[in-house]
Amino acid sequence: MAGSRIDKFSNIFARVEGMIRSGALKYEDKPIWFNVYKAFPPKVNPTYTRKPSENQQVVNILYPEDLVRAKYYAVYGSQKSQEVVDLTEKETPTQCQRFVDKYFELKKSGRVSDDDLFRQAASFMRAQGFKLESEVEKKEQKELHNMAQEMFPS
Amino acid sequence: MFTFRIFANRTSSQHLNKALRQCSVLKGCNSQIRKIHTTRQCNRLASSKLQELQSEFNLQIKMEKDEEYPFDDFEDQVLTSPDFFEVKNMVTLHDLFDARVHFGHKSGCRNEYMTDYLFGSRLEVDIFDLDQTLPLLHDALNFMAHIAYRKGVILFLSRNLQNMHLIEQTAKQCGEYSHCRKWQENLFTNSVRHYRSEIRIPDLCVIFNTKDTTVEQHQVVSESAKLCIPTIGIVDSDCDPRLITFPIPGNDDTPATVQLYCRLFKQAILKGKAARAKAEKEKNDVKN
């Protein structure tokens, strides 16, 4: 098709329309998208020379439960041996999510300090059959295991 | 009846003066002055001059409205409906959320033109505002369905190896074309040399990820813009949306997301084609 190949100064519609107006392109030979574009133009004019919006601020998103989550992972780490997360599974909550839900459930019920809430939630989870081992416990166990191996090499 | 064709552009006053002189020669004749292709500013100028002419020579003046082309084709009749192909029922906000469309890239690689489409930044990861994505996606689907209705050639493009097969299969299933391999330079702009003959270039490019490598933009974006081919593109938070005619801000990497896009695009194209087949059948029935 005839026309300027300078793509940066104007959008495709304005350039084709200009050619039709000047007679360089017959209206009958217009591209098939022309009338569709005219009827449904894009919300933002697709030109290269436009300026970015002045407000470049993006708000940070942080929820109250994030603090609990962070503490959970700091104390217990990710329970790799226990949990394999299937990303296509939408219904089952993760172990951490169960913990957080329980935490806020307990928080609603009464005034307890955050540390107590954390402990209560953990003991609830353990009672439910989830294996929760803190990083410190894991380390101690590993050391014990190593010591045993050194003393009684099999 | 005598017809004047006055090209009233920037030199409109000059042309009109000439017409005025000619009118004075043809005084008494019933003349019709047809005004075409004017800019808005010149319109006013021209109409005041024409009024002078009208009063002086008792002319019959037929004004043609600027920027108005006839919508007489049966292809154009569907344009009067705001959502002819009912694309708005095809996808909801919840579908987008489930398919993880809202996840962007790390905030460090954000493109400044994408800031408007962001909802926020969660732990250094950009999150898209799906309330903005949804209408933009609807617009793109509507445009695509209309192009399919007009028997346009649609080309699917991607450089994501993981989703390449899916995209190629989708294009095949809806009877369109795909190019997911390495893009040779000037494939559109110098197509004759590449293919050694004249080829038909597509009427619409659908770009699943507008990045060729991690940093470079896919060359098809600028080449389509050069050749006046409209583009529909999924733009992630690190992409440049400026030259994309219908940008859809959203995640472009996750397989679940690409599966959603493929399903929607295929559905839109098939809807357009089905409507075309129906319209043609009705037209033939009326003829017979």
Q: What pLDDT, in 10s, does the model give residues B46-67?
A: 556 666 666 655 555 554 444 4
A29 touches chain B (CB under 8 A): no
B187 in the same domain as B249: yes
Tens of pLDDT, residue by residue over A21-55, are 998 998 888 999 999 999 999 999 999 999 999 99
Interface contact B227-A1, CB threshold 8 A? yes
Q: How many CB atoms lie within 10 A of CB B263?
A: 15
Percent of chain A past pLDDT 70, that is, above it, reads 95
Distance from CA of A122 to the nearest CA of B (A): 25
**CA torsion angle for A98, A100, A103, A107 (degrees, to 10)?**
-130
Helix (H) or strand (E) holding B12: helix B12-25
Q: Kindly state the tokens that stand for B32.
A: 């019709």
Tens of pLDDT, residue by residue over B185-204, are 999 999 999 999 888 999 99
pTM of the model: 0.77
A1 touches chain B (CB under 8 A): yes
Backbone angles phi, psi at B147, to 5 degrees: -65, -40
Q: Kindly state the tokens that stand for B178.
A: 């795909």
Q: Kindly state the tokens that stand for A27.
A: 């209206």
Q: Does the structure's ipTM exceed the value 0.85? A: no
A90 touches chain B (CB under 8 A): yes
B224-253 residues labelled b (16+ CB within 10 A) or e (exposed): bbbbbbbbbbbbbbbbbbbbbbbbbbbbbb
B141 in the same domain as B193: yes
B46 in the same domain as B19: yes
- Give the nearest chain A residue to B132 (CA atoms): A43
Interface contact B242-A42, CB threshold 8 A? no
Q: Is residue B91 part of a domain?
A: yes
Q: In whole angstroms, what is the distance from residue A137 CA to residue B222 CA?
A: 58
- Give the nearest chain B residue to A14 (CA atoms): B228
Q: Is residue B68 part of a domain?
A: no
B169 in the same domain as B32: no
B219 in the same domain as B177: yes
Q: Where are the domains of chain A?
A: 1-50, 66-151
Overall number of domains in chain B: 2
Interface contact A58-B76, CB threshold 8 A? no
DSSP A92-104: SPPHHHHHHHHHH
What's the pLDDT score for residue B1?
30
What's the pLDDT score for residue B161?
92
B27 in the same domain as B141: no
Interface contact B243-A33, CB threshold 8 A? no
Confidence of residue B14 (pLDDT cuts 50, 70, 90): low
- The mean pLDDT value for B122-151 works out to 96
Q: Is residue B69 part of a domain?
A: no
Number of Cα atoms under 13 Å in the Cβ half of residue B116 = 16
Q: Is residue B211 part of a domain?
A: yes
**Residue A5 vs residues A11, A21, A23, B148, B152: alpha-carbon distances, Å:** 11, 18, 18, 26, 22
Contact B79, B107 (CB under 8 A): no
Interface test with B, best of A12, A26, A66 (most B CBs within 10 A): A12
B133 in the same domain as B8: no
Interface contact B228-A1, CB threshold 8 A? yes
Q: Is residue B286 part of a domain?
A: no
Q: Is residue B285 part of a domain?
A: no
Q: In whole angstroms, what is the distance from residue B272 CA to residue B150 CA?
A: 8
Q: Kindly state the tokens that stand for B108.
A: 């460090």
- Option in A12, A44, A58 nearest B120 (CB): A58
CB-based burial label for B261 (10 Å; 0-12, 13-18, 19+)? buried
Q: Which of residues 91-150 of A touch B (CB under 8 A)?
A: none
Distance from CA of B48 to the nearest CA of A (A): 22
A61 touches chain B (CB under 8 A): yes
Give the distance from CA B27 to its chain's centroid: 48
B80 in the same domain as B172: yes
Domain boundary among B62, B84, B100: B62
Contact B34, B6 (CB under 8 A): yes
Distance from CA of A112 to the nearest CA of B (A): 29
B225 in the same domain as B102: yes
- Give the nearest chain A residue to B225 (CA atoms): A7
Tens of pLDDT, residue by residue over B72-103, are 567 888 888 899 999 999 999 999 999 999 99
What's the pLDDT score for residue A140?
85
Residue B214 amino acid letter: T
Number of Cα atoms under 13 Å in the Cβ half of residue B108 = 1
Interface contact A32-B245, CB threshold 8 A? no
Q: Is residue B288 part of a domain?
A: no
**Residue B79 vs residues B82, B85, B132, B222: alpha-carbon distances, Å:** 7, 10, 23, 28
Helix (H) or strand (E) holding B97: helix B93-98
Distance from CA of B281 to the nearest CA of A (A): 21
Q: Kindly state the tokens that stand for B179.
A: 């190019």
Residue A128 has pLDDT above 80, yes or no: yes
CB-based burial label for B260 (10 Å; 0-12, 13-18, 19+)? buried
First to last CA, chain B: 40
Per the structure, the complete domain to which residue B45 belongs is given by 2-62
Averaged pLDDT of chain A: 87
Tens of pLDDT, residue by residue over B96-134, are 999 999 999 999 999 999 999 999 999 999 999 999 999
